[in-house]
Amino acid sequence: MGMLKELKSRLRAAYRTFRGFSHGPGGVYSLLSEILASKGLVDSPSYFVQVGAGPGDLDSGSGFRDGFTGVIKNLPLESLHKVLLVEPNPFNIPSLRECWKGYPSASIFELGIVQREVSGRSLPFYYTELDGPHFNVASFNSHHVLKHYKSLKLSDLRVLEIPTTDLRTFLDRNTHGAPILLLALDIEGIDAEIILETDFSSIDIRLISFERIHLGRKAGLVHKHLRKCGFQYHGLGVDHNGLDHLYLRVID
């Protein structure tokens, strides 16, 4: 009887914890609203950064929805709150500009984020016309594209030369040490590599959302790295299909 009582107590505690987790874009919105209010950041410079912004919320294939875009557009942003949108695919830039044209605080960077050891120069960016018009699996990693289009070979892919930088350099140059309230990453095929090489413990970031489905065998390493950097798993991130993990910085 005592064991059953203890089990029920543990289940209730787990349920309370689970309820506190984010269950997608709505949960991220609630967390950001709390952060803006409780940390006195309403009138302070702060940033929202999306790496892999695509066409924003103008992709008919996703029902004209984008989790990051929906969350940020619904927040009570002030002029000091800046939105940085990074997208390497030039075909998506016109739609991205249209998506954010009514938001003067938004800046768009036609740029690729890659591993530090190869960054700082133009690199081949692979895509296939079969993935048009927004080329959602286009990547600096050709194998990532071929994994989605198994009938193709490398010679079938189209290639663009895209300027690049690494994540830490981009954040340092464009946020100037101000708080980043949300960093959303969707770097088709190289998310794990980018996360693992970045020391997030020395960057003022409150929430990190990233696509989990392509982490593969590195998923455990990513979790350990983020824990080491002072973050804890907090449920689902901004992706409206539930494909993102969300990590919250633990602040004593």
The CATH number for 237's domain is 3.40.50.150
Residue 53 placed within a domain: yes
Residue 15 placed within a domain: no
Residue 1 placed within a domain: no
What is the Cα–Cα distance from 194 to 199, expressed in whole angstroms? 10
Number of domains making up the chain: 1
Residue 12 placed within a domain: no
Residue 155 placed within a domain: yes
List the domain range (segments joined by +) for residue 241: 24-249
Looking at the DSSP assignment, which residues form a beta bridge with residue 82?
47
Residue 14 placed within a domain: no
What is the Cα–Cα distance from 20 to 27, expressed in whole angstroms? 9
Q: What residues contact 20, with CB distance under 8 A and at least 6 apart?
A: none
**Residue 184, phi then psi, degrees to nearest 5:** -110, 125
Q: What is the 3-state secondary structure (H, E, C) of the chain?
A: CHHHHHHHHHHHHHHHHHHHCEECHHHHHHHHHHHHHHCCCCCCCEEEEEECCCCCCCCHHHCCCCHHHHHHHHCCCCCCEEEEEECCCHHHHHHHHHHCCCCCCEEEECCEECCHHHCCCCEEEEECHHHCCCCCCCECCHHHHHHHCCCCCHHHCEEEEECEECHHHHHHHHHCCCCEEEEEECCCCCHHHHHHHCCHHHCCEEEEEEECCCCHHHHHHHHHHHHHCCEEEEEECCCCCCCEEEEEECCC
* pLDDT per residue of the chain (252 residues) written in tens, 0 to 9: 455 555 444 434 333 333 468 888 899 999 998 888 875 655 668 999 999 999 999 998 888 899 999 999 999 887 779 999 999 999 999 999 999 999 999 999 999 999 999 999 999 999 999 999 999 999 999 999 999 999 999 999 999 999 999 999 999 999 999 999 999 999 988 999 999 999 999 999 999 999 988 888 999 999 999 999 999 999 999 998 898 999 999 876
Ramachandran sector of residue 246 (left: φ over 0; alpha: ψ -120 to 50; beta: rest): beta
Residue 4 placed within a domain: no
Residue 160 placed within a domain: yes
CB 145 within 8 A of CB 137: yes
